[in-house]
Chain A
Amino acid sequence: MKKVEAIIKPEKFDEIKEALNHLDIKGMTIMQVLGFGNQKGQKKFYRGTEISLNLLPKIKIEIVINDNLVDEIVSVIAKTGKTGNIGDGKIFVSTIDNAVRIRTGESGDLAL
């Protein structure tokens, strides 16, 4: 089992969700998050006082899937989410030890 975490531009979310819907994924969790990357936010003014918007709003998608789907999902997100500009986001992949479906008590791949 693998977990794919993708931090994306909020305006790209619908497009990515649609693209993922066509794949055989069993669920996804999304979060509104704040963060910064290499650019370290932007500088703006509020009432004439400089304000560093260190943290910009992003959306984080979490998907846990079977190992064989990982490459496809990652490439779909990377392709759909790309604008070519700074701030497009990042994708992280990690290994998951176990999963449990609370309703039935099933575990492992069956729980996905």
Chain B
Amino acid sequence: MKKKFKGLRLVFLISILMMVFAGVAMAAGADPTGASYATSTGQETISDVAVAASKAQYSANFVWVMITGFMVFFFQCGFAMVETGFCRAKNAAHTMTMNFMVFLVGAIGYFLVGFALQFGGSGGAAGLGTGGSVLNGMLSIPGLGGILGYKGFFLQSGGTYDAGIYALFFFQMVFMDTTVTIPTGSMAERVKYSAVVISSFFVSMFYYPLFGNWMWGGGWMSTLGKNFGIGHGAVDFAGSAVVHTMGGMMALAGAIVIGPRIGKFRKDGTARAFPGHDIPMAIIGTIVLFFCWFSFNAGSTLNAGDFRLAVVATNTMIAGAIGGLAAMFYMWAKFGKPDPSMTANGALAGLVAITAPCAFVNAISSFIIGLISGILVCISVSFVENKLKIDDPVGAISVHCVNGSWGVLALGLFADGSYGDGINGVAGGVKGLFFGDAGQFLAQLICFGVLIVWGFGVSYIWFKFLDKVHGLRVNPEVELEGLDLDEMGAYAYPDFLVVKSELDSFSPDNAEVKQSNKVKVSV
């Protein structure tokens, strides 16, 4: 009896409490559906309406650009995992840390100098407020066009302390970081950590921003259309050229200058396989990159009101998927197994290639572009290794340089004219060769030529120079032992016995490798 009474009392108490809470909630004017937030008071003026509309549009834009920017930052994680997974366990801490460090260096280099050179004369982004108009300092060559900007050093010079400019900086900085990190892949397992630190400053302060200015900052390649009537000028929606080919060209130059890993090639020139130590890590990294790529490309509208962003994201998905699938089937047919590392490379190749044309093509074109990338990356990996005798542990050259270039040219072929009105100051949609505008393809070819001269040429000279004054490569003893302890002071896996393969020692069959300290390794 007593027990029952106690139970009733509890129910009574709870009911009272609920009523009290309900009362308090009602008293505060709470609205469970939120419908009342947007009702009119009947007192608004036209100007109130204009302010509210404008604020709504800008807040959507800012949130879109910032959130996609945050996710592009996560590219760093994807690259770190892909590269480290494809390397041997004895170099895992070195490779992983390198991929993190390049962000730290890149952010500072871009903040101090890079952003101003790239966007100092760009006029800002239309979707990010009117403050961008102070970015009006462009150094130009008469008869050619702009070559570098000079406002926005430290996000301060020239009155650039502006929310829209900060948003633009944030988004562009994380983009730039991709270019810095790509060469670490092709030079992994033998490059000096200190050389990568120095090199990352060079990339973030000069190498990337200048080319970026010519394409995206209002520089001379983007005005080829306006000034010389060549299509819409060189167009690159989200960075097949600016980000990926620039990184890929540097990866190519770096791998040539630094030379192959000890034991990679035999005396007769044939290659040995150095299997990656953690394929699951590389696959997770690939999925992280794939996910962030939606932000990379769709975020590049820099405007939440540009509904084309749905086309961009979908094209990105299709090209990446068919790229991975094509590579998988190619390897399966040729070597009997669906090679996991090449399947990952194939998806990344498709994504790299669609990055420039993603906004200007339809889904069928994306499919074709991605399909070609998937095959291209397999052929290229074999060509780079067996014909050029260049050692690229992770496939950075084939994924970023070869397929980035393919993406730049593909835009000039497949753009269907449905998008890009007014881009680079030229009226009408961007049309490729297959849709009737040979001029656009010419503009893309010019861009490709500049990529070879500025991208490959300058980075080749840079690495030769750095090799002379500082040295690019660790000593052979360190390379054989693994870079983790000597370079970083920490093993990646101290609790595990890392079993070294027979390739981790000098073999009389090894091809000779020239070391940076000019000591030839006797083998």
Interface set of A (CB-CB < 8 Å, partner B): 34, 44-51, 54
- Point out the residues of chain B lying under 8 angstroms from A48, CB to CB: 331, 334-335, 339, 342, 378, 381-382, 385
- Point out the residues of chain B lying under 8 angstroms from A44, CB to CB: 337
B:324-339 near A, CB below 8 Å: 331, 334-337, 339
B273 touches which of A34, A46, A54 (Cβ 8 Å): A46
* CB of B272 within 8 Å of the partner chain: yes
The 8 nearest A-B residue pairs measured at CB:
A51-B273, A46-B273, A49-B273, A45-B335, A46-B275, A48-B382, A49-B271, A47-B341
B:56-111 near A, CB below 8 Å: none
B339 touches which of A34, A47, A50 (Cβ 8 Å): A47
- Point out the residues of chain A lying under 8 angstroms from B335, CB to CB: 45, 48
Q: Interface size of B by Cβ–Cβ distance < 8 Å? A: 20
> Secondary structure of the A side of the interface?
strand
* CB of B404 within 8 Å of the partner chain: no
Are A51 and B275 in contact, CB atoms less than 8 angstroms apart?
yes
- Point out the residues of chain A lying under 8 angstroms from B272, CB to CB: 49, 51
- Point out the residues of chain A lying under 8 angstroms from B275, CB to CB: 46, 51
* CB of B495 within 8 Å of the partner chain: no
* CB of B268 within 8 Å of the partner chain: no
Are B339 and A46 in contact, CB atoms less than 8 angstroms apart?
yes
Q: Once the chains are docked, how many angstroms separate the CA of A50 from the CA of B342? A: 14
Q: Once the chains are docked, how many angstroms separate the CA of A44 from the CA of B335? A: 8
A47 touches which of B336, B381, B499, B502 (Cβ 8 Å): B381
Contact flags B214-226 to A (C-beta < 8 A → 1, else 0):
0000000000000
Are B336 and A45 in contact, CB atoms less than 8 angstroms apart?
yes
- Point out the residues of chain A lying under 8 angstroms from B127, CB to CB: none
Known: A45-B339, A51-B272. 11 other contacts (CB 8 A): A44-B337, A45-B337, A46-B273, A47-B339, A47-B341, A48-B335, A48-B339, A48-B342, A48-B378, A48-B381, A48-B385
- Point out the residues of chain A lying under 8 angstroms from B378, CB to CB: 48
Are A34 and B499 in contact, CB atoms less than 8 angstroms apart?
yes
Q: Once the chains are docked, how many angstroms separate the CA of A49 from the CA of B274? A: 9
Most chain B C-beta atoms within 10 Å of own C-beta, residue among A48, A51, A54 = A48
B:245-297 near A, CB below 8 Å: 271-275
- Point out the residues of chain A lying under 8 angstroms from B274, CB to CB: 46
* CB of B395 within 8 Å of the partner chain: yes
- Point out the residues of chain A lying under 8 angstroms from B273, CB to CB: 45-47, 49-51
- The smallest C-beta distance from B326 to any residue of chain A, in angstroms, reads 15
Are B337 and A47 in contact, CB atoms less than 8 angstroms apart?
no
The chain B residue sitting closest to A48, CB to CB, is B382
- The smallest C-beta distance from A103 to any residue of chain B, in angstroms, reads 27
- Point out the residues of chain B lying under 8 angstroms from A50, CB to CB: 273
- The smallest C-beta distance from B303 to any residue of chain A, in angstroms, reads 40
- The smallest C-beta distance from A27 to any residue of chain B, in angstroms, reads 22
CB within 8 Å for A54 and B502 given contacts A45-B337, A48-B382, A49-B271:
yes
- Point out the residues of chain A lying under 8 angstroms from B271, CB to CB: 49
Interchain Cβ contacts under 8 Å between A and B, 7 examples: A45-B273, A45-B331, A47-B273, A47-B395, A48-B339, A48-B378, A54-B502
Q: Once the chains are docked, how many angstroms separate the CA of A50 from the CA of B336? A: 12
Contact flags B370-383 to A (C-beta < 8 A → 1, else 0):
00000000100110
- The smallest C-beta distance from A95 to any residue of chain B, in angstroms, reads 29
- The smallest C-beta distance from A107 to any residue of chain B, in angstroms, reads 31
A46 touches which of B334, B336, B341 (Cβ 8 Å): B341
The chain B residue sitting closest to A57, CB to CB, is B499
- The smallest C-beta distance from B442 to any residue of chain A, in angstroms, reads 35
The chain B residue sitting closest to A44, CB to CB, is B337
- Point out the residues of chain A lying under 8 angstroms from B382, CB to CB: 48
The chain A residue sitting closest to B337, CB to CB, is A45
The chain A residue sitting closest to B335, CB to CB, is A45
Q: Once the chains are docked, how many angstroms separate the CA of A54 from the CA of B273? A: 13
Q: Once the chains are docked, how many angstroms separate the CA of A105 from the CA of B246? A: 69
- The smallest C-beta distance from A45 to any residue of chain B, in angstroms, reads 4
- Point out the residues of chain B lying under 8 angstroms from A47, CB to CB: 273, 339, 341-342, 381, 395
Q: Once the chains are docked, how many angstroms separate the CA of A45 from the CA of B385? A: 14
Q: Once the chains are docked, how many angstroms separate the CA of A50 from the CA of B395? A: 17
- Point out the residues of chain A lying under 8 angstroms from B381, CB to CB: 47-48
- The smallest C-beta distance from A77 to any residue of chain B, in angstroms, reads 25
Q: Once the chains are docked, how many angstroms separate the CA of A48 from the CA of B395? A: 12
- The smallest C-beta distance from B416 to any residue of chain A, in angstroms, reads 35
- Point out the residues of chain A lying under 8 angstroms from B334, CB to CB: 48
Q: Once the chains are docked, how many angstroms separate the CA of A51 from the CA of B272? A: 7
- Point out the residues of chain B lying under 8 angstroms from A49, CB to CB: 271-273, 385
- Point out the residues of chain B lying under 8 angstroms from A34, CB to CB: 499
Q: Once the chains are docked, how many angstroms separate the CA of A49 from the CA of B264? A: 11
- Point out the residues of chain B lying under 8 angstroms from A45, CB to CB: 273, 331, 335-337, 339
The chain A residue sitting closest to B342, CB to CB, is A47
Most chain A C-beta atoms within 10 Å of own C-beta, residue among B272, B273, B342, B385 = B273
- Point out the residues of chain A lying under 8 angstroms from B342, CB to CB: 47-48
B:364-396 near A, CB below 8 Å: 378, 381-382, 385, 395
Q: Once the chains are docked, how many angstroms separate the CA of A48 from the CA of B435? A: 37
- The smallest C-beta distance from B347 to any residue of chain A, in angstroms, reads 15
- Point out the residues of chain A lying under 8 angstroms from B337, CB to CB: 44-45
- The smallest C-beta distance from B88 to any residue of chain A, in angstroms, reads 12
- The smallest C-beta distance from B341 to any residue of chain A, in angstroms, reads 6
Q: Once the chains are docked, how many angstroms separate the CA of A44 from the CA of B273? A: 10
The chain B residue sitting closest to A54, CB to CB, is B502
Q: Once the chains are docked, how many angstroms separate the CA of A47 from the CA of B271? A: 11
- Point out the residues of chain B lying under 8 angstroms from A46, CB to CB: 273-275, 339, 341
- The smallest C-beta distance from A41 to any residue of chain B, in angstroms, reads 11
The chain B residue sitting closest to A33, CB to CB, is B499
